[in-house]
Homo-oligomer: A and B are copies of this chain.
Amino acid sequence: MAQRLFDLKKENMDRTRLFQQIQKKKSFLCVGLDTDIEKIPQHLLQADDPVFEFNKAIVEATCQLAVAYKPNLAFYEAMGPRGWESLAKTVAHIRTTDPGIFLIADAKRGDIGNTSAMYAKTFFVTYNFDAVTLSPYMGLDTVAPFLSFTGKWAVVLALTSNKSATDFQYFTDGKSKKKLFENVLEKGQSWGTPDQIMFVVGATKAEAFKGIREIAPDNFLLVPGIGAQGGSLEEVAHFGMNGHCGLLVNSSRGIIYASAGTDFATRAADSAESLRKEMEVHLRQKGLL
């Protein structure tokens, strides 16, 4: 049933390959494709598929500066079936442009059993992503079906960048004295290898990265929240980087909406390059280049 929408050969991206890409590009930048048809430059609206045209231009302008792209599913779903067409075309275009790119579906799915297996098929087979963001609320049953795909990743929410992350993620277990997000980091590691499991940790919680690295030294962390949300790349790199970098730092609006004019792609590249440059400094300081 989960028919592949396109067929492109690509290698599985394990930690080693991901780190190779990071070294090659001197960047651990992930570009978030939160593409909103109401925010893209006016002149694109005449195209057959403005969302795809926008993504295509952004990808072409930034793919030497980024190791990963992260389409935010909400923006595609809201457009109805044609949004999913734009998504599929975007993924195919990224695969053709640079087969070394790591592709994350920011879907934050969280279901169980055959439903979760169906989500895994959707993103890994139908849409050919490398990784999917998942909510841990329902436990291992959510994540397990994603781990049965060789070379694919589950990116589990741990400590998120938003204000109400404190509603439940800091809940402290009476027995273990550990917070919920710490427990997610611990249990999450028992679910799969660091070549399968990544965690989401918000950049706005930079003070927590030290403790998080004590719990999860080897896993990659997907880090949203720099730029618009106020997190500091320097602090994230300082506290979060490990021996194979171990970080994918995401920027969405700061890059893709750097300009609303016809120069949007070059301005996106400028913005991405400015982050990449800073990343290169941090990689050198850590002796990883």
Say how far A286's CB is from chain B's closest CB, in angstroms. Answer: 30
Closest B residue to A156 by CB, please name it: B137
**In this assembly, does A149 line the interface, its C-beta being within 8 Å of a C-beta of chain B?**
no
**In this assembly, does A288 line the interface, its C-beta being within 8 Å of a C-beta of chain B?**
no
Contact A115 B34 (CB under 8 A): yes
Which of B138, B141, B175 contacts A157, CB < 8 Å?
A: B138
**In this assembly, does A136 line the interface, its C-beta being within 8 Å of a C-beta of chain B?**
yes
Contact B121 A160 (CB under 8 A): no
1/0 per residue A75-99: CB within 8 Å of B? 1011111101100100000000000
Residues of B within 8 A of A139 (CB): 162-169
1/0 per residue A160-192: CB within 8 Å of B? 101111111101111101001001100100000
1/0 per residue A93-133: CB within 8 Å of B? 00000000000000011111111101101100011000000
Contact B174 A172 (CB under 8 A): yes
- Docked Cα-Cα span, A115 to B138, in Å, equals 21
Q: A1-B37, A38-B1, A80-B3 are in contact. Are A116 and B74 (CB under 8 A)?
A: yes
Number of chain copies forming the complex: 2
Contact A137 B140 (CB under 8 A): no
Contact A80 B75 (CB under 8 A): no
Q: A137-B135, A167-B139 are in contact. Are A122 and B180 (CB under 8 A)?
A: no
Residues of B within 8 A of A8 (CB): none
**In this assembly, does A289 line the interface, its C-beta being within 8 Å of a C-beta of chain B?**
no
- Docked Cα-Cα span, A169 to B139, in Å, equals 8
Q: A121-B78, A138-B157 are in contact. Are A72 and B180 (CB under 8 A)?
A: no
Contact A141 B164 (CB under 8 A): yes
Which of B34, B81, B122 contacts A82, CB < 8 Å?
A: B81
Give 13 pairs: A residue, B residue, CB < 8 Å, sorted on A.
Answer: A1-B79, A3-B79, A34-B114, A74-B122, A77-B122, A78-B118, A81-B81, A108-B135, A110-B157, A136-B167, A138-B167, A167-B187, A168-B180
Q: Beyond A34-B115, A77-B126, A139-B163: 20 further Cβ-contacts under 8 Å?
A: A2-B78, A3-B80, A72-B118, A74-B119, A75-B118, A77-B122, A80-B84, A80-B127, A84-B84, A137-B160, A138-B157, A138-B160, A138-B165, A139-B169, A140-B164, A141-B163, A142-B164, A168-B187, A171-B180, A172-B174
Chain A interface residues toward B at CB < 8 A: 1-3, 5, 34, 36-38, 72, 74-75, 77-82, 84-85, 88, 108-116, 118-119, 121-122, 126-127, 135-142, 157, 160, 162-169, 171-175, 177, 180, 183-184, 187
